[in-house]
Amino acid sequence: MKKSLFFTLFLFLIGVVACDNSDKNSKKKMQTIDFIPDLRVEAVIKQLKDSLGGSHTFRIDRGVRQVAGLWREQDGAVGDFANFCKSSFVGDTAQLAQLFHTLERNFEVINGYYHKMDVMLKAPLQLEGAEITPIDMMFGGYSASAHLADDLYANKVALLTASNFPFYTLEEKTELGAGWSRKEWAYARMGDRFISRVPAAIQQNISRTITEADAYISDYNIYMGNLRNENGKQLFPDHMKLISHWGLRDELKSNYADREKGLEKQRMIYKVMQRIIDQSIPMQVINSGLNFWNPISNQLFDNSGEIVASTPEDNRRYEVFLKNFHAMRQLDPYSSHYPTQLARAFDGTMEVPQKDVEELFKGLLASPQVKEVASFIESRLGRKLEPFDIWYNGFKSGGGIPEDELTTITSRKYPDAKALEEDLPNIMVKLGWKPAKAKEITSLVTVDASRGAGHAWGAEMRNDVARLRTRIGAEGLDYKGYNIAVHEFGHNVEQTITMNDVDYYILNGVPNTAFTEAVAFIFQKRDLELLGLKKTNPEDEHWLALDNFWSCYEIMGVSLVDIEVWEWLYANPEATPEQLKEAVVTAAKEVWNSYYAGILGGEDETLLGIYSHMIDYPLYLPNYPMGHLIAFQIEQQVRGKNLADEMDRMYTQGSIIPQQWMKNAVGSPISIEPLLAATDEALQTLKR
């Protein structure tokens, strides 16, 4: 599940985008914002170079240009700009180090306490409790830190930082980063801190829009016990309530173990998903159990079996998506170096170029291994594959355990959030941590019952708690909730290690969210082992390879749809929700026909448009397949070694760029080749 992005978005808003005057096209776009004339910029640079000498040339040149790009009329006249640059530039090495440590310490204080406020204000929206009220939405959508950037520019802290710590482009970090010391990496990340200047009103609007989108998805539930097939029969338990798309997907996956009614259940869930995508789903069945619903005919029935009138959702899903686009697009004029959300998502946040990401995805989707794995699945199912088999999860050496049996175990073991929280140290010990370290880490993790599917939210200051959220019903934690909880706990462990054990605060975290997804996947794949239900088998690594491969096959296509839709939005910024729906459906069909129809059938299938993150977290989806690839390479690295020791070695690198992190961690960059090779080996072994 998702790692919460609220604070990630906050950090982005106060400075993820560079102001690089060498980019003429970007410069032209920003000309209406820039206040300092180029001639004065050049004059200040020359004066500083003449007075301080050639050894400071690079820092002077870039620092003055950064400040010029961020300076506004309210900061002072042109002469004030010149005086500020001359007085604020620190040439002495020891004084520069002291400035860095002061900034780092104070940013931790600010980040940490604003984050705590955000957590508490959003709690009524995210945690189990009373029905959400309009005032809850108002406070949940409020960003207490929205004016922080304005304040730090007004008191010149932001400009002082930009003056002394150069911003490096992704290309520069890639070229130079391998030779940097830890201090140089920390200085470079400080240079990323203030490189755009976004008005507070825009930050508030984005925070409110993302919060509303998250609330829409968090309350998008289907009462499965109210579904009826063509014969009027009920297939699912009375009290089963599943969130879209995660809960529906996980229920579909669980039914591979049901040899009697599993296939019919899967086909019904599949139809529900199609109704959500095309928005023909009746409003009356969203988060409501008042009526019975036949998803095949799309008819509603009352308690007496009489047909009742229904109203389709009518593009609400795409209205939410479109609001996200318009909100994020507000950043474009202030983002000289990354002028679109696509550029910000890949070059700015993921720090892997979009073309490289797409090349990885298309390489795996078009690989010959896809047909071979699909054939292997068909042999196990004893039937032709159908579109929903994109979620096949039967790669288990010992056969699947029925989910109701697993739920009996998990609900007994974890009747409430407190029981799960108390067991976290034991889980860590089972995974290889020493008891003392396990206790130290888990003392900084708290568990809450989630209103939505679940998520993890890390701290933003040392010794603060990370939060694990998962759905916990009245009868305890069912297997779906447990599986999600183990995934989210992986996030929490990464969040806690990379916040508290990395040498510089400014380097806390991971290169991008794919790296925290990698840890979450590694934990999640061990969920049965943690329950004592899985014994070591020599074939396990082969099943793991196939599972990872098929998961990549699933989510890479979804990610390509997400990317294609955002490209379409930028080409059609005045689109209506109806037009956006058609664009999503068209993109889903095109990607399906290119990579899936020949494998899973269903020409012009729309299923790739079901993913909730497409709606509530702009361009987050590509992080999942990147996370799968990273997780697989890390799995290969830790095999035969202690997981805890290897995680400590790898993850205490902190947030350097992804490819450098991978080279240090596993000896090679992010690649599909290890997974493809392992898939070939797995097929050869398991077919014998």
pLDDT digits (tens, 9 = 90+) for 464-508: 999 999 989 889 999 989 999 999 999 999 999 999 999 999 999
String of b and e for 184-213 (b: at least 16 CB within 10 Å)? ebbbbbbbbbbbbbbebebbbbbbbbbbbb
Percent with pLDDT over 70 in the chain: 94
Does the pLDDT at position 222 exceed 60?
A: yes
Taking residue 671's Cβ as centre, other Cβ atoms within 10 Å add up to 16
Q: Residue 182 has which token pair?
A: 């830890």
Does the pLDDT at position 511 exceed 70?
A: yes
Lowest mean pLDDT among 87-101, 385-399, 562-576: 385-399
pLDDT of residue 458: 95
Question: Within 13 Å, how many C-alpha atoms sit on residue 449's CB side?
Answer: 16
What band does 635 get if pLDDT is binned at 50, 70 and 90? confident
pLDDT of residue 203: 86
pLDDT of residue 397: 57
The mean pLDDT value for 529-547 works out to 86
CA-to-CA distance for 478 and 476, rounded, in angstroms? Answer: 6
Q: Which is nearest to 656 in space by CA: 195, 196, 168?
A: 168
CA-to-CA distance for 564 and 588, rounded, in angstroms? Answer: 9
CA-to-CA distance for 60 and 234, rounded, in angstroms? Answer: 72
The mean pLDDT value for 224-229 works out to 98
Kind of pairing between the strands at 221-223 and 241-243? antiparallel
Tell me the pLDDT tens digit for each residue of 102-129.
999 999 999 999 999 999 999 999 888 8
Q: Residue 414 has which token pair?
A: 């974890």
Does the pLDDT at position 8 exceed 50?
A: no
Q: Are 304 and 312 in contact (CB under 8 A)?
A: no
**More confident: 127 or 28:** 127
Count of residues for the chain?
Answer: 688
pLDDT of residue 287: 96
Question: Within 13 Å, how many C-alpha atoms sit on residue 467's CB side?
Answer: 22
What band does 192 get if pLDDT is binned at 50, 70 and 90? very high
Q: Which is nearest to 210 in space by CA: 618, 545, 650?
A: 618
The mean pLDDT value for 671-684 works out to 97
What band does 535 get if pLDDT is binned at 50, 70 and 90? low
pLDDT of residue 398: 47
The mean pLDDT value for 643-654 works out to 97
Helix or strand or coil: residue 636? helix
Percent with pLDDT over 90 in the chain: 83
For residue 608, the 8-state DSSP code is G
The mean pLDDT value for 436-460 works out to 93
Crossing angle of the two packed helices 200-218 and 93-126, in degrees rounded to 10: 40
| CA 531 to each of CA 1, 44, 135, 398, 528: distance values in angstroms, whole numbers, following the listed order | 20, 66, 41, 15, 5
What are the extents of the domains in the chain? Answer: 6-197, 217-278+280-314, 340-396+537-686, 403-530
The mean pLDDT value for 52-76 works out to 93
What mean pLDDT, rounded, does the chain reach? 92
Tell me the pLDDT tens digit for each residue of 340-392.
999 999 999 999 999 999 999 999 999 999 999 999 999 999 999 999 999 99
